[in-house]
Amino acid sequence: MRYKDKHQLAAEWQTLLERTPRPLRQAVETLVENHCGYFADHFYGVMLDDPHASLFLSNGQVQQRLNPSMQRWLSAMFTVEHVDFTALVEHQEKVGQVHARIDIPVNLVLNGARQLKQAFYQQINATFESPLSPGDASVYVSEHIDMAMEIMSHAYSVASDRNARTEEAYKLFSLTQSIGDERERQRSALLNWENELMFAVAAQHDIATLPKLANSDFGLWYFHKACHAFEGAPEIATISRHIQQVDREWLERLLHEDASQRLKALGEIRDAARTILMLLDDVLKRASGLDAGRDSLTRLLNRKFLSVVLSREIDIARHSEHSFALLMVDIDHFKLINDTHGHDAGDSVLQQVASILDRSTRGGDYVFRMGGEEFLIVLVDTDHEGSRLFAERLRQSVAKEPMLAGADTLLNVTISVGVTLHDGHPDYHHSLQRADQALYQAKRGGRDRVVVL
């Protein structure tokens, strides 16, 4: 059955409001004005007591923004005169979409609404002054909040369904481009890690300075991409177990004073690497090709799967000590290139810059073309200084490589980069906006520079 459109909902909400006597509405509006802070504090106090809800609300910036936002929402909800009921409906839809984007379970939202209504009832019974009874006021408040929850829940459901479909499509897509190339690239990455380890042992270098397998280029690709794309495959759990055993057990034994123990550990690591490669081959052979998520010009990822990737990285960061950074990259004076040398030259520059971005990143990182001359890099397993240094190296790499814009035309091209480290906020739009702001500052500051926010 088709759900009501926003105009029908607006008309229904207006009818609900108009059938309530104006004096009662005015009394509730006054109640909200006097106790708005109490209602917001009560709501978030109850929610933070819930261990599940606290995952989404414990971030300091969330608390600073949400409490005033809740107070504004209450004031808008219970104003006596609503100028635009369609705008009121659209606001509830937007809230529901945000809840879906950060994956707040709908039961937590409904529980919060129930707690909010209880707080209203207590204040109505304690302080309410109106020609009508407190019971009538409670009914009005309850129907008003229920109306908002209905709209939010529907918007949440639609957005969640869309997100689920996108995530399933991404699982099929993410590792199915050029399966043969991907298999060889990751085989090479794993064997390079193993060879570096063997050389360090033979040369009696400090083993502790080498990255663990989980933190190697292969490990980043595996945990940030393969685990998600092939979630549920029996091989994935086995591969993860072997990686953990290598890092937690066999690498530790390489530090053992007993030579026989070190030799045994090396053998176990080699066996684990062979097993991982065999299992990975089995997984990749079952994958089929899909091309709907790549930009046709640069072959980078397009925006289609951005929400899935960022939601996934936020979830990884939430349950680990690792973070990620967003780098918004823009080609400087790109319009001038098009106007002076033509759009074919512009396309050629886009492809060459995209190639530099792609080859500069690691197996676990993501590179998106956001549109036009703008790109986004999701740099996994990094920190503030690491992301800044990466962005500077990237800027220098582009600046020093002449771009072929025609048969006999070489151009010097620069980029501006805005960088932000994920700060724990559950909504990825927050980090995207910060990266955009950083890029804007880089452009305003003269271009060909990196700005970190």
Lowest mean pLDDT among 165-174, 348-357, 398-407, 436-445: 165-174
Give yes or no for residue 270 having a pLDDT over 70.
yes
Lowest mean pLDDT among 50-54, 172-176, 323-327, 399-403: 172-176
User: Domain for residue 168, yes or no?
Assistant: yes
212 with 131, same domain? no
66 with 141, same domain? yes
User: Domain for residue 326, yes or no?
Assistant: yes
Supply the pLDDT for residue 393.
95
User: Domain for residue 399, yes or no?
Assistant: yes
pLDDT band at 132 (very low <50, low <70, confident <90, very high): low
As a whole-number percent, the residues of the chain with pLDDT over 70 amount to 88
Give yes or no for residue 147 having a pLDDT over 50.
yes
Element (H, E) at 115: helix 106-127
225 with 129, same domain? no
Supply the pLDDT for residue 87.
87
Supply the pLDDT for residue 125.
85
372 with 411, same domain? yes
pLDDT band at 70 (very low <50, low <70, confident <90, very high): confident
The DSSP letter of residue 379 is E
Give yes or no for residue 243 having a pLDDT over 60.
yes
Distance CA 368, CA 371 (A): 9
More confident residue, 425 or 64: 425
User: Domain for residue 297, yes or no?
Assistant: no
- Average pLDDT of span 374-389: 95
Supply the pLDDT for residue 381.
92
Average pLDDT score, the chain: 84
Distance CA 277, CA 189 (A): 11
Give yes or no for residue 76 having a pLDDT over 50.
yes
Give yes or no for residue 52 having a pLDDT over 90.
no
75 with 185, same domain? no
103 with 235, same domain? no
264 with 405, same domain? no
Supply the pLDDT for residue 72.
87
Supply the pLDDT for residue 58.
65
User: Domain for residue 264, yes or no?
Assistant: yes
- Average pLDDT of span 395-400: 94
- Average pLDDT of span 56-85: 77
Residue 324 and residue 379 in contact, taking contact as beta carbons nearer than 8 Å:
yes
Supply the pLDDT for residue 59.
59
Strand, coil or helix: what is 377? strand
Give yes or no for residue 168 having a pLDDT over 80.
no
Give yes or no for residue 178 having a pLDDT over 60.
no
Residue 229 and residue 239 in contact, taking contact as beta carbons nearer than 8 Å:
no
User: Domain for residue 295, yes or no?
Assistant: no
Closest CA to 276 of 228, 227, 313: 227
Supply the pLDDT for residue 165.
55
Supply the pLDDT for residue 425.
86
Lowest mean pLDDT among 50-59, 119-128, 268-277, 319-328: 50-59
Q: Give the domain-ending residue among 225, 250, 285.
A: 285
Q: Give the domain-ending residue among 233, 258, 285.
A: 285
Q: Give the domain-ending residue among 121, 147, 172.
A: 172
Residues 4-13 pLDDT 10s = 788 888 888 8
Q: Which residues lie below 8 Å from residue 177, measured CB to CB, with a gap of 6+?
A: 289, 290, 291, 294
- Average pLDDT of span 363-391: 93
The CATH number of residue 360's host domain is 3.30.70.270
More confident residue, 358 or 167: 358
Give yes or no for residue 422 having a pLDDT over 90.
yes
Tokens of 282: 């089995």
21 with 149, same domain? yes
User: Domain for residue 219, yes or no?
Assistant: yes
The CATH number of residue 88's host domain is 1.10.490.10
Residues 281-334 pLDDT 10s = 877 766 544 445 678 788 888 887 788 889 889 888 888 888 999 999 999 999
231 with 262, same domain? yes
**Alpha carbon distances (Å) from 256 to 201, 250, 252, 263, 264:** 12, 10, 7, 10, 11
124 with 191, same domain? no
Decide the pairing of beta strands 366-371 and 323-331. Answer: unpaired
396 with 278, same domain? no
Residue 272 and residue 238 in contact, taking contact as beta carbons nearer than 8 Å:
no
Supply the pLDDT for residue 94.
86
136 with 186, same domain? no
Supply the pLDDT for residue 60.
65
Distance CA 359, CA 356 (A): 5
Domain extent at residue 255: 179-285
Supply the pLDDT for residue 56.
66
Supply the pLDDT for residue 291.
47
User: Domain for residue 234, yes or no?
Assistant: yes
Total structural domains in the chain? 3
Supply the pLDDT for residue 427.
85
